[in-house]
Amino acid sequence: QKEVEQNSGPLSVPEGAIASLNCTYSDRGSQSFFWYRQYSGKSPELIMSIYSNGDKEDGRFTAQLNKASQYVSLLIRDSQPSDSATYLCAARPGGYNKLIFGAGTRLAVHP
Amino acid sequence: DGGITQSPKYLFRKEGQNVTLSCEQNLNHDAMYWYRQDPGQGLRLIYYSQIVNDFQKGDIAEGYSVSREKKESFPLTVTSAQKNPTAFYLCASSSGFNEKLFFGSGTQLSVL
């Protein structure tokens, strides 16, 4: 069973701080990784995708991938109350045309 | 504007009834997917289709059926065999095998 694991949270951070969200995956052959943000009652929207080891930065967001440790993370700098949402980590197992999603981490940014 | 349209936004099913959720995309994407989301849980794959007239079962296909007669459309039928259908249903599409998913706005299905 291929799995993606996330801490359900809530992760509470003050406004302006760095939020760090973590994810581990079980299939060592996974090649593609995605972070989606989902507001309550809404559909997920793509925040970041990462395919290679290392860091990938886009504005206030940085995705980090460590394939040896089977670990993906998302850093949100200068967190804003509008960042309060559930963040879903997803991985595409090797040879599969589908994404496996984690249960999500709920982030709460307080003023 | 290109995107994925799901309808209806809310749907109620009576016991023993089949209901169909609509999903239409104008992104010219080859692949389409149906996911189910229960409260506090991640997305679970019901069915997916890589090309017209072809589809595969996902992880929780029992009690559901799909068709892919047109590239733009991928309707999902929740049959009476699905005993616990209450959930948020999400349709998605992608341009290819290794590409990111784009999601529709979802359908909340409840049982009367």
**B37 → chain A, closest CA residue:** A103
Bridge-based pairing of strands A32-38 and B87-94 is: unpaired
Quote the minimal CA–CA distance from A56 to chain B in Å: 16
pLDDT tens per residue, range B48-57: 999 999 999 9
First to last CA, chain A: 41
pLDDT, averaged across chain B: 92
**Distance between CA atoms of B109 and B111, rounded to whole angstroms?**
7
Q: Does B39 touch chain A (CB under 8 A)?
A: no
First and final CA of chain B: distance in angstroms? 35
pLDDT digit string, tens, across residues A66-88: 999 999 999 999 999 999 999 99
Give the pLDDT confidence of B8-48 residue by residue, as tens digits.
999 999 888 999 999 999 999 999 999 999 987 889 999 99
Q: What is the mean pLDDT of residues A14-31?
A: 95
Q: Token match 């997803």: residue? A: A90
CB contact under 8 Å between B33 and A46, yes or no, is no
Specify the pLDDT at position A21.
97
Q: Is there a contact between B42 and A101 if contact means CB atoms under 8 Å apart? A: yes
Neighbours of A81 (CB within 10 A): 10
pLDDT at B91: 97
B54-108: per-residue pLDDT in tens? 999 999 999 999 999 999 999 999 999 898 999 999 999 998 766 789 999 999 9
Instruction: Report the distance separating Cα B32 and Cα A26, nearest Å.
Output: 25
Task: Provide the 10 A C-beta neighbour count for residue A111.
Answer: 7
- Hey, is the C-beta of B60 within 8 angstroms of any chain A C-beta? no
pLDDT of residue B27: 94
> CA B34 to CA B57: how far, in whole Å?
10
Give the integer Cα–Cα distance in Å for B5 and B93. 11
Q: Please name the member of B42, B90, B97 whose beta carbon is closest to the beta carbon of A103.
A: B42
- Work out the minimum CA distance from B106 to partner chain A, whole angstroms: 6
